[in-house]
């Protein structure tokens, strides 16, 4: 009908014709007509007309666009590493060169556009706020609706919500709990209506120690999400934390317990579990009020110097430049770290030797700077120096003693004793990964050329930039006293309180960072601590031994300190 038959302006008339055309476009025989969607056959992800995304095609990346009639139009594009990772759980982030689109290469067990979906998660912890598994059936047996479906437009929780990724919502139909309800839920069709319904997900078995912290709480994986002052914790994947050191996008986030949740964690070895929070409109962090675990299985220390592999015929693991070992092969090995306030993290200082539940021997020169006792940390049972482990035991130090006659020039009397902190009368718990070495009898001397073991996390070579990431073990032999002389050690004095040991092949030796660690020798079918790693002339040089503090000379000193300071 022509516009001039209506008393309206030309602009209004044209608008009416436009709306009529739009209505005709979307109408078809009295029913609404929508353009076809693109559905991924592998992930069931649903995309609307015009949506773009990246996908892997073998080792290359394709840029795709959802065209008309549900057709995908894709072509290969170059990618680079993301400036800021968008991937969870250690996924590798790649960004298209000419667009802001990114894609994640997920580690085994994870999927999703951001590696946020844990395909191995079969149960929920607590109320399931952090559940990221693949369950997609409601209590009534109905299939869940994809959170990205257009039928959910206008609903409060969808994949198009601004903070959807933090809530676990995405282009999938898996059960989630974005509103802190009693348990994960999803939207379903009930007749012609869309309703929500809880999912029939099993609860994870409760660990009696889950809601308490052992030692400093680095292994804490509970669900407390409130700070000591009562402030609510922010999720570790909150966008404001993108540039913080500890967030859900770290490559080691999974090992640190960080993810799409707001539970308290201790990824940096602080005093206890903590979280990011807002205080007075300022982003900050605060410790959480989590009780210490007190229910320990007490095991009487009836023996020492034992391990799963109690032989000396295994291959030698060199201290530098060679093969690696496992903590079960030297369960008395300790790591001594020092906390640096400016960087808010612990750094490796020296090795140590567990000699009893609450006592660790080390080298005096490791504490020449008179490090404050509250900044010290002792880790037992860890194969990888920087990685948390279910077998590890972490302790603060109550007190430490440096030998009163320690000479920082000659390194005579280079021995120190650390007392671990506890409030239950016991510290280290006997296990395959944590076990004390035997102290020798007073004045014990073993035959020359006796084969012994050294271990530690020290440098692989004299000029290595980094300490070893994994504990190492090496074999050395006790040198005769007449060969342990200044002439073979660049003129440095050797006292009666020292012993020499080395590998005549020049293959195995202690190096920087191993100081304070053990020299253990088999004596009466037990691994006995004959020396503490002290000093040397370089690392692994042929015909140059390492020098060790002669432990049999200090049994009275050790006994005196322990008796004067009972646990």
* Residues annotated catalytic, as ranges: 365, 414, 515
Place of tokens 């280290």: 428
Indicate if the alpha-carbon torsion angle 536, 538, 539, 542 is positive or negative. negative
Judged by DSSP in three states, 12 sits in: helix
SS3 content of the chain, % helix, strand, coil (to 5): 10, 30, 60
CA distances (Å), origin 215, targets 187, 345, 385: 43, 16, 17
Task: Transcribe 42-76 into DSSP letters.
Answer: TT--EE-TT-EEEEEETTEEEEEEE-GGG-EEEEE
User: Are 322 and 472 a contacting pair, CB within 8 Å?
Assistant: yes
CA distances (Å), origin 392, targets 79, 327, 381, 388, 397: 40, 10, 4, 7, 16
Task: Transcribe 264-328 into DSSP letters.
Answer: -B-TT--SS-EEEEEETTEEEEEEB--PBP-----------S--SS--S-SPP--SSSS----GG
- β-bridge pairing 518-523 and 498-502: unpaired
- CA-based end-to-end distance of the chain: 99
User: Are 445 and 434 a contacting pair, CB within 8 Å?
Assistant: no
User: Are 510 and 533 a contacting pair, CB within 8 Å?
Assistant: yes
Burial class, 100, CB count within 10 angstroms (exposed 0-12 / middle 13-18 / buried 19+): exposed
Give the single-character DSSP code of 560. Answer: H
| In 346-489, alpha helices (H) | none
């Amino acid at each position: 009908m022509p516009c001039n038959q209506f008393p309206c302006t030309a602009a209004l008339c044209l608008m009416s014709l436009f709306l009529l055309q739009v209505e005709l476009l979307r109408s078809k025989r009295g029913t609404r007509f929508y353009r076809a969607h693109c559905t991924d056959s592998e992930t069931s992800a649903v995309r609307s007309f015009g949506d773009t995304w990246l996908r892997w095609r073998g080792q290359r990346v394709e840029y795709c666009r959802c065209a008309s009639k549900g057709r995908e139009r894709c072509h290969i594009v170059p990618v680079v590493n993301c400036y800021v990772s968008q991937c969870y759980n250690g996924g590798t982030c790649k960004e298209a060169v000419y667009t802001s689109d990114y894609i994640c290469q997920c580690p085994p067990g994870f999927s999703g556009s951001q590696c946020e979906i844990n395909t191995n998660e079969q149960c929920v912890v607590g109320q399931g706020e952090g559940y990221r598994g693949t369950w997609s059936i409601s209590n009534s047996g109905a299939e869940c609706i994809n959170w990205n479906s257009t039928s959910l437009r206008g609903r409060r929780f969808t994949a198009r919500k601004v903070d959807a990724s933090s809530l676990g919502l995405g282009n999938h139909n898996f059960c989630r709990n974005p509103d802190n309800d009693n348990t994960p839920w999803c939207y379903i069709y009930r007749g012609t209506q869309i309703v929500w319904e809880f999912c029939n997900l099993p609860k994870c078995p409760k660990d009696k120690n889950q809601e308490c912290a052992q030692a400093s709480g680095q292994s804490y994986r509970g669900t407390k999400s409130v700070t000591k002052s009562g402030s609510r914790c922010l999720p570790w994947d909150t966008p404001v934390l993108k540039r913080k050191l500890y967030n859900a996008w770290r490559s080691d986030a999974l090992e640190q317990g960080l993810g799409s949740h707001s539970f308290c964690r201790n990824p940096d070895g602080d005093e206890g579990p903590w979280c990011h929070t807002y205080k007075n409109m300022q982003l900050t962090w605060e410790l959480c009020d989590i009780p210490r675990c007190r229910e320990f299985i007490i095991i009487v220390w009836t023996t020492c110097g034992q391990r799963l592999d109690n032989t000396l015929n295994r291959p030698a693991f060199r201290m530098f430049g060679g093969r690696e070992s496992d903590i079960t092969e030297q369960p008395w090995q300790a790591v001594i770290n020092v906390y640096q306030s400016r960087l808010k993290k612990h750094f490796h200082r020296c090795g140590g030797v567990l000699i009893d539940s609450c006592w660790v021997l080390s080298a005096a020169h490791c504490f020449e700077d008179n490090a404050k006792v509250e900044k010290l940390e002792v880790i037992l049972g860890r194969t990888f120096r920087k990685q948390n482990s279910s077998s590890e035991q972490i302790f603060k130090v109550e007190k430490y003693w440096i030998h009163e006659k320690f000479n920082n020039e000659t390194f005579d009397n280079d021995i120190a004793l650390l007392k671990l902190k506890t409030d239950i009368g016991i510290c280290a718990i006997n296990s395959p990964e944590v076990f004390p070495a035997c102290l020798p009898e007073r004045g014990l001397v073993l035959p020359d050329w006796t084969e012994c073991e050294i271990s530690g996390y020290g440098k692989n070579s004299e000029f290595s930039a980094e300490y070893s990431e994994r504990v190492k073990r090496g074999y050395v032999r006790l040198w005769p006293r007449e060969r342990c002389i200044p002439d073979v050690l660049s003129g440095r004095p050797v006292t009666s309180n020292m012993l020499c040991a080395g590998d005549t092949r020049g293959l195995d030796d202690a190096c920087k960072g191993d100081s304070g660690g053990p020299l253990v020798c088999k004596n009466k079918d037990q691994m006995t601590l004959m020396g503490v790693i002290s000093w040397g002339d370089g690392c692994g040089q042929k015909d140059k031994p390492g020098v060790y503090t002669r432990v049999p000379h200090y049994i009275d000193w050790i006994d005196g300190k322990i008796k004067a300071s009972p646990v």
